[in-house]
Amino acid sequence: MLHKLNARMVDVVDNFALVKSQSIQSRVVVVGYEQCGRGGGSEEKKQQQNATPVSHSDSDSVGMGVAKSNIGDDIDKPSPPSAAGGGGGFDICLPKQPGCVVLKPPLLVKNRERRLSGNSNSNSNSKNNSNVSLLRPGMVLLKGYLAPSVQQKIVEKCRELGVGEGGFYQPGYEEGTKMRLKMMCLGKNWDPRTSQYGDRRPFDGARPPDIPPEFHTLVSNALRDSNAHTPHNPLPSISSDICIVNFYSQTGRLGLHQDKDESEDSLRRGLPVVSFSIGDSAHFLYGDHRDPDTAQKLLLESGDVLIFGGPARNVFHGVTDILPTSAPNFLLQHTNLRPGRLNLTFRQY
């Protein structure tokens, strides 16, 4: 008799736990720590209803049985001029989603990113030759140069400036073609319609924000460490007064071109361009001609710094494609950066 009573009590408890679990699951969506803020609205609800289990075979991923939300390519759609100035610029970071539970990253991911952080610091990175590559005379790649904490601060500063006056907008050419990226100029404005620099943006009269002092320090350190690797052919230092900040969506690209709109003196002296890559990785082309078939391809990842000056100052270069979901998890976790690539190029007029 007592045995039967205990068995019935167990059944009651189990049924209550099942009902409670189902009730909680109907109200709460749990996602991996790198997925939080990656979707929203009715589309997210639809995907939750049609969610299918996610494979756990990848030890570096977090499978929670919830399908990933797809982010549309709306950032490639033209922004109205009124939305670009006066505090209404494009936000490179996604809003935090209500009810989103952020899980701590797996130990394997934490250890990997701790190693990445250990190989770099906020002032200068390891001068180990394995991290520095001379691609051609005057063109140097500092691989993984920007520390994770520095990348985070750059995203946060660009986001702060990008939503304000003179912030991100979608540029276009004179004939009306829109570029497949969002752009913000710091220091001086560059107008792709005229290929000229100015103190204000023509379409809304906004002044470009100043280049943050910490950005100047990063540029100086990168040039110093680059020259330490090529002491016999050092590149001249610059006092950067221009920074063009581009944000590429996952479908963004930029055709082969030369950076030749700076002053004749700057070009003649071969004053270098210093480029920071943050977020998703990109395939980068460079060569002596505007021909993708003969250009060399390079993978630029988050934290990489590319410098070209001197004999490589007028090299043709461009971005062929962005590699989706390749951004470091630590960056997404701390900044909620949109899917895509943030690129800062510094130069002296």
Q: Residue 54 pLDDT > 60, yes or no?
A: no
- Domain assignment present for residue 31? The answer is no
Q: What pLDDT, on a 0 to 100 scale, did the predictor assign at position 152?
A: 98
Structurally, the chain folds into a number of domains equal to 1
For residue 180, which of 247, 252, 245, 246 has the smallest C-alpha distance?
A: 252
- Contacting residues for 216 by C-beta, under 8 A, at least 6 apart: 240
Q: What pLDDT, on a 0 to 100 scale, did the predictor assign at position 96?
A: 81
HSE (CB half, 13 Å, CA atoms) of 223?
22
Q: What pLDDT, on a 0 to 100 scale, did the predictor assign at position 1?
A: 47
Rounded to an integer, what distance in angstroms lies between the CA atom of residue 253 and that of residue 181? 7
What is the β-pairing status of strands 139-142 and 132-136? antiparallel
Rounded to an integer, what distance in angstroms lies between the CA atom of residue 214 and that of residue 230? 25
Read off the pLDDT band of 206 (50, 70, 90).
Answer: very high
Read off the pLDDT band of 339 (50, 70, 90).
Answer: very high
Q: CB of 32 within 8 A of CB of 80? A: no
- Domain assignment present for residue 156? The answer is yes
Rounded to an integer, what distance in angstroms lies between the CA atom of residue 325 and that of residue 338? 10
- Ramachandran angles phi, psi of 45, nearest 5°: -65, -40
Q: What pLDDT, on a 0 to 100 scale, did the predictor assign at position 147?
A: 97
Q: What pLDDT, on a 0 to 100 scale, did the predictor assign at position 248?
A: 97
For residue 306, which of 214, 235, 209 has the smallest C-alpha distance?
A: 235
- Determine the average pLDDT of the residues in 249-278: 97
Tell the residue number behind the tokens 């998703």, with chain if given.
280
Q: What pLDDT, on a 0 to 100 scale, did the predictor assign at position 25?
A: 40
- Domain assignment present for residue 48? The answer is no
| Residue, of 227 and 25, whose pLDDT is higher | 227
Tell the residue number behind the tokens 């404005």, with chain if given.
189
Q: What pLDDT, on a 0 to 100 scale, did the predictor assign at position 103?
A: 54
**Annotated binding site, which residues?**
257, 259, 317
- Ramachandran angles phi, psi of 159, nearest 5°: -65, -45
Residue 256 β-bridge partners: none
% of the chain residues with pLDDT over 90: 62
% of the chain residues with pLDDT over 70: 66
* Residue count (the chain): 349
Longest dimension (CA), the chain: 99
- Domain assignment present for residue 60? The answer is no
Q: What pLDDT, on a 0 to 100 scale, did the predictor assign at position 105?
A: 55
Which domain CATH number covers 333? 2.60.120.590
Tell the residue number behind the tokens 């073609």, with chain if given.
177
Span between the terminal Cα atoms of the chain, in Å? 92
| Residue, of 52 and 105, whose pLDDT is higher | 105
Classified as helix, coil or strand, 82 is helix
Each residue's pLDDT tens digit, 218-246:
999 999 999 999 999 899 999 999 999 99
Read off the pLDDT band of 41 (50, 70, 90).
Answer: very low
Q: Which two tokens stand for residue 101?
A: 């539970």
Residue 141 β-bridge partners: 133, 306
Q: Residue 34 pLDDT > 60, yes or no?
A: no
- Domain assignment present for residue 269? The answer is yes
- Domain assignment present for residue 207? The answer is yes
Q: What pLDDT, on a 0 to 100 scale, did the predictor assign at position 97?
A: 77
- Contacting residues for 185 by C-beta, under 8 A, at least 6 apart: 166, 201, 208, 242, 243, 244, 245
- Domain assignment present for residue 45? The answer is no
Q: What pLDDT, on a 0 to 100 scale, did the predictor assign at position 133?
A: 96
Q: Residue 57 pLDDT > 50, yes or no?
A: no
| Residue, of 33 and 95, whose pLDDT is higher | 95
Neighbours of 57 (CB within 10 A): 7
Q: Residue 340 pLDDT > 80, yes or no?
A: yes
Q: What pLDDT, on a 0 to 100 scale, did the predictor assign at position 174?
A: 81
- Determine the average pLDDT of the residues in 293-316: 98
- Contacting residues for 60 by C-beta, under 8 A, at least 6 apart: 106, 108, 109, 112
Each residue's pLDDT tens digit, 163-183:
999 999 999 888 778 999 999
> H or E stretch including 53?
none
DSSP state of 169: B
Least confident of 27-36, 83-92, 268-277: 27-36
Each residue's pLDDT tens digit, 125-141:
444 445 999 999 999 99
pTM: 0.73
Rounded to an integer, what distance in angstroms lies between the CA atom of residue 34 and that of residue 325? 10
Q: CB of 152 within 8 A of CB of 124? A: no
Q: What pLDDT, on a 0 to 100 scale, did the predictor assign at position 177?
A: 85
- Domain assignment present for residue 327? The answer is yes
Domain with 300 in it: 105-347
Q: Residue 31 pLDDT > 90, yes or no?
A: no
User: Which one-letter amino acid corresponds to residue 16?
Assistant: F
**Annotated binding site for Fe cation, which residues?**
257, 259, 317
The per-residue DSSP string of 60-80 comes to TS---S-PPPPPPSGGGSPPP
Q: What pLDDT, on a 0 to 100 scale, did the predictor assign at position 345?
A: 98
Q: What is the 3-state secondary structure (H, E, C) of 177-225?
A: CECCCEEEEECCEEECCCCEEECCCCCCCCCCCCCCHHHHHHHHHHHHH
Rounded to an integer, what distance in angstroms lies between the CA atom of residue 56 and that of residue 65? 9
